[in-house]
Chains A and B, each alone.
Chain A
């Protein structure tokens, strides 16, 4: 057989049938469900009198709407409360396994799946959420779907789709001090643009990627969608397998050994052909900061806000002008001179234990700058929070003037009460800097946890790669 990519292997292993035009019916192993994109799907099932095809494939959790403080009092916003209660009642009615809001295992869906071992190599993983690409870090084929497809998977365990093209992003070499998976992700997006990966599944490979922890790999695959790719993925290796061993949903005993033997085959073969290849030298990647309203509007922290006047493409120039106006920034301003009002450390991109450790290392023994009105740390799950507290990270953050919150999506998309006021500028470890994303009129700069913590302490962006 010809040399196959990891994507070929995952795809071929899940084809149920194929139409003449290439549209395939793909079997889905794991379906993650949250409160925002599922109520209409459950309602559709009920209206049509359909049942779940395989109830045990579903794991549900409320994350987008949950408050990050005062959770014992419930959700104050009646509309948000109804949405979370609707998930609870749908899961109860259909017998779906759900981690409820006050369960210690509750958290952001893309944090808890891997944490529980509910995401495994070789799986197809879907969720009504674009950041499902995160799970590809485990050599899984994972992608976000809309609500109609959520219903489709519930009823049939399958999805109708066409195979994407395959892109490899190869990163070689050692990362410099203070440079993280987040910076790799932003550097890739800066290079290929937010539509650069449209129509592709991206495999990240190379020595730099092999050297990343699972947390780092998840950060990178999480942002594949910001490069336009529905799926990002990384080959399975010892790092993957060691992370999963002993997790509640992971196989055990003889089944574990059988699974591991299969997982070891989940990599692209030598000589496998990709439709596109992008190469990056890790040593050239510096800490990244976005300056505009799209993740591709990004520069290194030692750079300056670009000048739209120098852009030849009129659509790009107009976009940059509009972005600078929205962001309240002047062209050519050094990034390190941009002062911030708020700091958000959290989200499915950067709220895992390693992210919190990295931010705490920067904040240890220091204090949030007086011009920073709020610096908040929102762990990705109740278990991440517990682990961080066992390590004393909460005390480091609190002593430094950060708020230590309960887990959820929080100010990544500001569906709950955590949001920016109009005009406020935020250093955020999240994934989207769109207009209004963190609150109407809010201004978001995407950075790594280290960069966010350092900005909180200094009150403006600083280069964590220099002493």
Chain B
């Protein structure tokens, strides 16, 4: 997994609540057996004017000029500013894969759906919850200033705006540790093989029918 430490990134505002994972990556692209290459189809139904299918040359498809990701001032954005309940719906990890492959490293929203939030951390993507009023203020600031960037410092748990405003954010200590060091969860868990085996033996003795 990619490490995440510091980012000074361009911000794009996606001003809708309840953005679901079907919108982030539509189902037709879930037929892939790979975990890469989903970026060109992130937000496919909003981003293009035609209907996308796997295998199309996305560079030749007509873009929807009204969709915020297509506006010239937001090209190269690495920070997605979103509204409440971002990532609701399906558990598909293809959603964070698509966002990461597009180039995002940070998503800021007042709230995230639980499974999506969790999936982000497995892919070097940092989801940050801020208070709704703070997110509101950021939306206004981004829209008012072309080239608006934010500095995200995971070690210090701060976001710094161009005007110097600092927004502290919360992140669970364990997730932070994994993200800062780019650690693979499975490798970490396998350090506890003995404890897992001991638990399993005890569990089997208590509920043998689970192991029949």
The residues of A with any CB-CB pair to B shorter than 8 Å are: 13-14, 16-17, 19-21, 23, 25, 27, 29, 36-37, 39-40, 43, 48, 50, 53-54, 56, 64-65, 77, 79-80, 82-83, 86, 120, 122-123, 128-130, 132, 143-149, 151-152, 155-158, 160-162, 164, 194-195, 198-199, 225, 228-230, 251, 255-256, 258-259, 262, 294, 315-316, 318-319, 322, 413-415, 432, 434-437, 440
Interface residues on B, range: 35 or more
A413: chain B residues within 8 A (beta carbon): 22, 27, 90
Closest 8 CB pairs of A and B: A251-B209, A146-B93, A148-B122, A146-B119, A39-B33, A144-B91, A195-B85, A21-B173
Q: Which stretch from B59-67, B72-80, B185-193 is at the chain A interface?
A: B185-193
Name which residue of chain B comes closest to A230, CB basis: B114
Contacts of B76-90 to chain A: CB distance below 8 A: 83-85, 88-90
Q: Is the CB of B93 within 8 A of A315?
A: no
Known contacts A149-B122, A157-B200; 12 further A-B pairs (Cβ under 8 A): A21-B172, A23-B175, A36-B92, A123-B210, A146-B118, A156-B186, A158-B196, A162-B172, A225-B115, A228-B85, A228-B113, A259-B207
Q: What residues of chain A lie closer than 8 Å to B192, measured between beta carbons?
A: 16-17, 25
Can you name the residue of chain B whose Cβ is closest to the Cβ of A162?
A: B172
Within 8 A of A (CB), among B192-212: 192, 195-196, 199-200, 203, 207-212
B211 touches A160 (CB 8 A): no
A432 pairs with B212, CB closer than 8 A: no
Inter-chain contacts of B210 with A (CB < 8 A): 29, 120, 123
Check A56/B208 contact, CB under 8 A, given A48-B186, A144-B91, A155-B186: no
Among residues of B, the one whose C-beta sits closest to the C-beta of A294 is: B18
Taking the closest CB of chain A, its distance from the CB of B90, in whole angstroms, is 5
Provide the residues of chain A in CB contact with B119, threshold 8 Å. Answer: 146, 148-149
B window 10-51: CB within 8 A of A: 16-18, 20, 22-23, 26-28, 30-35, 45, 51
B54 proximal to A (CB < 8 A): yes
The CA of A259 and the CA of B93, in the complex, are separated in Å by 35
Q: Give chain A nearest CB distance to B208 CB in angstroms.
A: 7
With A251-B212, A255-B208: A144-B26 Cβ-Cβ less than 8 Å: no
Q: How far is the CA of A430 from the CA of B30 in the complex (A)?
A: 19
Nearest-CB distance from A118 to chain B (Å)?
11
Contact A82-B45, Cβ < 8 Å, known A146-B119, A156-B189, A230-B114: no
A79 touches B196 (CB 8 A): no
On chain B, the residues within 8 Å of A143 by CB distance are: 115
Inter-chain contacts of A156 with B (CB < 8 A):
186, 189-190, 196
Task: Report how far A152 CA is from B190 CA in the complex, Å.
Answer: 10
Residues on B with beta carbons closer than 8 Å to the beta carbon of A225: 115
**What are 20 sample pairs from A and B whose C-beta atoms fall under 8 A apart?**
A29-B210, A43-B35, A83-B31, A120-B209, A144-B115, A145-B91, A145-B118, A146-B91, A146-B93, A146-B96, A146-B119, A149-B119, A155-B190, A195-B18, A195-B113, A255-B208, A255-B212, A415-B30, A435-B45, A440-B45
Q: Cβ of B89 and Cβ of A130 under 8 Å apart?
A: yes
Closest to A292 in B: B18
Please judge, given known A-B contacts A20-B173, A147-B93, whether A27 and B23 are in contact too, CB under 8 Å. Answer: no
Interface centre among B189, B190, B200 (most CB of A within 10 A): B189
Instruction: Kindly identify which residue among A17, A80, A145 contacts B115, using a CB–CB cutoff of 8 Å.
Output: A145
Assuming the contacts A259-B209, A434-B22, asked whether A83 and B113 have C-beta atoms less than 8 A apart, the reply is no
Chain B hits for A43, CB < 8 A = 33, 35
* Assembled-state Cα–Cα distance A362/B192 (Å): 56
Chain B contacts for A432, CB-based, 8 A: 20, 22, 89-90
Q: Are A414 and B200 in contact (CB under 8 A)?
A: no
Contacts of A122 in B (CB 8 A): 207
Determine whether the beta carbon of A318 is less than 8 Å from that of B23.
no
Interchain CA distance A53-B172 in the complex, whole Å: 28
Residues of A within 8 A of B88 (CB): 194-195, 228, 294
Q: Is the CB of A152 within 8 A of B22?
A: no
Q: Collect the chain B residues with CB atoms within 8 Å of residue A130's CB.
A: 89-91, 115
A16-B192, A122-B207, A436-B22 given as contacts; is B28 within 8 A of A82 (CB)?
A: no
Partner of B196, one of A25, A149, A230: A25
Hey, which chain A residues are within 8 Å of B93, CB to CB? 37, 40, 128, 146-148
Complex formed: what's the CA distance from A86 to B112 in Å? 32
Closest to B122 in A: A148
Cα of A164 to Cα of B185 in the assembled complex, Å: 20
Given known A146-B92, A434-B20, contact A25–B189 (CB-CB < 8 A) = yes
Q: Are B31 and A40 in contact (CB under 8 A)?
A: no
With a 10 A CB-CB cut-off, give which of B18, B54, B192 has the most chain A CB atoms.
B18
Cβ–Cβ contact A160 & B209, under 8 A: no
Contact call B122/A146, Cβ cutoff below 8 A: yes
With both chains docked as a complex, state the minimum distance between the C-beta of B51 and any C-beta of chain A, in angstroms: 5
Distance in angstroms between the alpha carbons of A21 and B173 in the assembled complex: 6
Known A160-B174, A294-B18: A86·B195 in contact at CB below 8 Å: no
B17 touches A319 (CB 8 A): yes
Please report the C-alpha to C-alpha distance between residue A144 and residue B96 in the assembled complex, in whole angstroms.
15
Task: Give bound CA distance, A286 to B196, whole Å.
Answer: 48
With A and B bound together, what is the CA distance between A256 and B17 in angstroms? 48
CB contacts (< 8 Å) of A145 on chain B: these are 91, 115, 118
- Which residue from chain B places its CB closest to the CB of A151 in the assembled complex? B186
Docked Cα-Cα span, A413 to B207, in Å, equals 37
**When the two chains form their complex, are residues A37 and B92 in contact, meaning their CB atoms are under 8 A apart?**
yes
The smallest beta-carbon distance between A213 and chain B, in angstroms, is: 24
Q: Enumerate chain B residues within 8 angstroms of A77, measured Cβ to Cβ.
A: 31
Q: Is the CB of A436 within 8 A of B207?
A: no
Taking each of A53, A156, A230, which has the highest tally of chain B beta carbons within 10 Å of its own beta carbon?
A: A156
With both chains docked as a complex, state the minimum distance between the C-beta of B202 and any C-beta of chain A, in angstroms: 10
- Known contacts A123-B210, A151-B186, A436-B45; A319 and B16 CB within 8 A of each other: yes
CB closest chain-B residue, reference A422: B51
